[in-house]
């Protein structure tokens, strides 16, 4: 069998090409990860927002640790961490595009770390997008004249007065973004392969040798 593989040019070591280290396909596991993490993030975001609205809206902040952590309800028309207020409909469109892009990317997903990363990003994006579509002043009922411009509920305040207020969806998006940067930096690809840089190095060495010989 190894002789037939070698004669046919098939890799013997599990590498698909020089510089790329493949991972075994994980379609079932990646689906399980998406189907687990996304609903958990979304549910945590929705439940915590509902609870704080019922218990803290219109009241003084609930101090957990003085000068470190407190819960205070605000309605954010901007992006994550209360940034970019006044651009609500733009952020709604961006969030929708992010959700669509993640779902399209998931069709080629073969990496477990990337499955976790995209699950965090998708769960967080869906959480805040739900607020954009259904919370005041957005919505579809009477007295809701601003479709797709709902305000996101933020309530977690760390280092009060020095750091923006955020929510569970924001934290999931930030964690997913950090993981995406780390995975890309380490060369892990969404399709399950890993770019080690060996292919580029070999190519550069070959071209340099050809130039020297010429």
Residue 191 a catalytic site member: no
Catalytic residue among 67, 154, 204, 213: 154
The phi, psi pair for 147, rounded to 5°, reads -65, 145
C-alpha distance from residue 159 to each of 70, 71, 167, 170, 171 (Å): 8, 11, 15, 17, 16
Catalytic residue among 45, 67, 131, 170: 170
Residue 154 a catalytic site member: yes
Beta strands in 30-151 (DSSP E): 62-65, 69-76
Distance of CA 139 to the CA centre of its chain: 26
Length of the chain, please?
A: 214
Tell me if 121 sits within 8 A of 97, measured CB to CB: no
Residue closest to 98 by CA, chosen among 90, 109, 86: 90
Residue closest to 114 by CA, chosen among 171, 50, 13, 189: 189
CA distance 98 to 180: 14
Which residues form the catalytic set?
154, 170
């Amino acid at each position: 069998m190894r002789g037939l593989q070698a004669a046919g040019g098939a890799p013997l070591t599990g590498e698909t090409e020089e510089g790329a280290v493949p991972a075994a396909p994980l379609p079932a596991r990646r689906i399980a990860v998406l189907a687990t993490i996304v609903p958990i993030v979304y549910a945590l975001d929705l439940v915590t927002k509902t609870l704080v609205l019922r218990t803290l809206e219109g009241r003084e902040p609930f101090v957990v640790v003085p000068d470190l952590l407190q819960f205070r309800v605000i309605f954010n028309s901007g992006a994550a961490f209360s940034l970019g207020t006044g651009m609500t409909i733009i952020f709604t469109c961006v969030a929708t595009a992010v959700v669509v892009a993640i779902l399209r990317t998931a069709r080629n997903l073969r990496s477990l770390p990337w499955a976790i990363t995209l699950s965090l990003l998708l769960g967080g994006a869906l959480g805040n997008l739900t607020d954009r579509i259904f919370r005041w002043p957005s919505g579809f009922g009477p007295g809701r004249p601003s479709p797709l411009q709902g305000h996101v509920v933020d309530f977690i305040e760390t280092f009060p007065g020095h750091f923006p207020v955020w929510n569970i969806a924001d934290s999931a998006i930030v964690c997913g973004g950090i993981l995406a940067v780390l995975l890309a930096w380490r060369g892990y690809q969404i399709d399950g392969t890993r770019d080690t840089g060996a292919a580029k190095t070999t190519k550069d060495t070959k071209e340099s040798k050809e130039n020297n010989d010429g």
